[in-house]
Structure 1
Amino acid sequence: INYYFDTQNYGLANNDETLRVRQSDCGLKLEYKFNKKYSSMIRECQEYSFSIKELPSEISSHIITPFYDRDKTKFFLQGQLVTYRKKFQLDRTEICLDSNYYLGKKDFELEIECEEPEEIEKVIEILGCSCSSRVIGKYKRFLRQKETIGKNILE
């Protein structure tokens, strides 16, 4: 389960950053993703994560300082996304098949994690997949659905 946090005006999302608490069989982990770079179908980013004991309702920016260098602020729980994941290993590459459920929506995604970009192209060729040119992460998809629901409620 991914619990997403952001400012009231979505300051992290607007800077293409993600702050979440991930709940898995291993416990809770706070994760901050930043400095995202996109090239074709590849997304690279820096990640900072550590284990926590309980799910907070808000997170202070001081907890992700030295990486968050803007004004001090608080991040509030925006909602959750549930992922069912099946992992496979191909040489040094991890392949994840995800089913995601959030805000009444279900989608699927293929994640390929590796150290060398050439490995991604190799896996895509082996699987016979075609890919979109721009990757839209789970958090952005979650926010799009949240916005759609909000518009429908107001109409």
Structure 2
Amino acid sequence: MIEKEYKILLSSFQYEQIKHILEFSEFREQNNYYYETELFELVNKGLTTRIRTIGDEYLFQIKNKLKNKTHGVTTKEEFEESVKEIPKVIEIEKIENIIGFKLNIDSKYAYNIGVLNTKRYICYMNDCEIALDKNEYFGNTDFELEIEFHENENQALDIIDNLNLDKSKNPVGKYKRFLLEKMKHQKEGY
């Protein structure tokens, strides 16, 4: 599946405003358990590898960045399969089998490097899925709006304009923010 979306980092004030402006039809709490090699080879290949838990459901997900952000739009190919547990280690060969190509990296394993918790409100407008997220990881909290669309990017842009948000910034995605915070904590000795 191809995923196209805008991601906009929000202040806590903007987050609360949007929570009251839009009529959200769904709320869920999810945990993303991220996996990476010791040499960060997956992220360097444009891959995000995680187990996402929503309630009792465990989803092994891999996102493959197809191209760099164009006008703020992230385009990724997404792979997903149901699993029964959160392993400590995932074999690179399993990742390659799911994505359908060899990564040509030295590592044989990706390790669970931590968890990011998201409290997500969801609604649907103009053929777009809107997710309002509060993310917590390594003692850090941030807020984000994701607008996923299929074909018509203008419908997503209209939503951004109606919410008076700045679409010109290219925010760092959840996984990279998570990695940056993890590295910061490792340097500080946590």
Q: 1:64 aligns with which of 95, 101, 122?
A: 95
Measure the CA separation in 1 of the matches of 2:143 and 2:180.
16
Q: Residue 19 in 1 paired to residue 49 in 2?
A: yes
Q: 1:105 aligned to 117, 121, 140, which one?
A: 140
Q: Does 1:127 align with 2:127?
A: no
Match for 2:172: what amino acid?
Answer: I
Structure 1: stretches of 5+ with no match in the other structure: none
Normalised to the residue count of structure 1, the TM-score between the two structures is 0.92
Mark the CA change 1:51 to 1:106 in structure 2 (over 3 Å): closer, same or farther. same
Q: CA deviation at 1:136?
A: 1.1
What corresponds to 2:75 in structure 1? Answer: 44
Cα distance, 1:25 vs. partner?
2.4
Q: One-letter code of the match for 2:34?
A: Y
Offset from partner CA, 1:31-73 (integer Å, 9 cap, x none)? 0011332112110100110100111111112222242412472
Identity of aligned residues (%): 32
With normalisation by structure 2, the TM-score equals 0.76
- Structure 2 spans left out of the alignment, 5+ residues: 1-30
d(CA) in 2 for partners of 1:15 and 1:135? 19
Supply the RMSD in Å over aligned alpha carbons: 1.6
Aligned length: 154
